[in-house]
Amino acid sequence: MGKIKDIFSGPHRKFAWYVVISTTLLIVLWFVGPGNTFIHWGKSALEVRRQEKVIEKYERENAELDRRIEMISTDRDTLEKFAREQYNFAVPGEDVYLVE
């Protein structure tokens, strides 16, 4: 501890205090200043979590659509129902009434 005390009370004490204050300011600016800071990293982490939730939502939607595609491609009744509801298809000779 004596050497540190000598540095801050000796002939170079102004320079030593300058170094300590400058280093402290740089560290503080690194934490709260613009650019690549911890605050920016925190905001980025929140954005990543939000995007991961969106990805999970779309994965669930894709799974549901895959299930519907599988049903339509394997079950004739489901395909017929889909064609009637979405595209107003009808069996030849059948009358179609659109109610909106």
10-residue averages of pLDDT along the chain (100 residues)? 72 84 88 73 93 98 95 87 83 78
Query: Can you give the pLDDT at residue 76?
Result: 86
* pTM value > 0.85: no
Query: Can you give the pLDDT at residue 91?
Result: 80
Are 40 and 63 in the same domain? yes
Are 43 and 75 in the same domain? yes
Residue-number span of the structural domain to which 20 is assigned: 1-32
Are 68 and 52 in the same domain? yes
Query: Can you give the pLDDT at residue 1?
Result: 58
Question: What string of DSSP letters covers the chain?
Answer: -HHHHHHHHSTTHHHHHHHHHHHHHHHHHHHHSSSS-HHHHHHHHHHHHHHHHHHHHHHHHHHHHHHHHHHHHH-HHHHHHHHHHHH----TT-------
Are 1 and 24 in the same domain? yes
The total of structural domains in the chain comes to 2
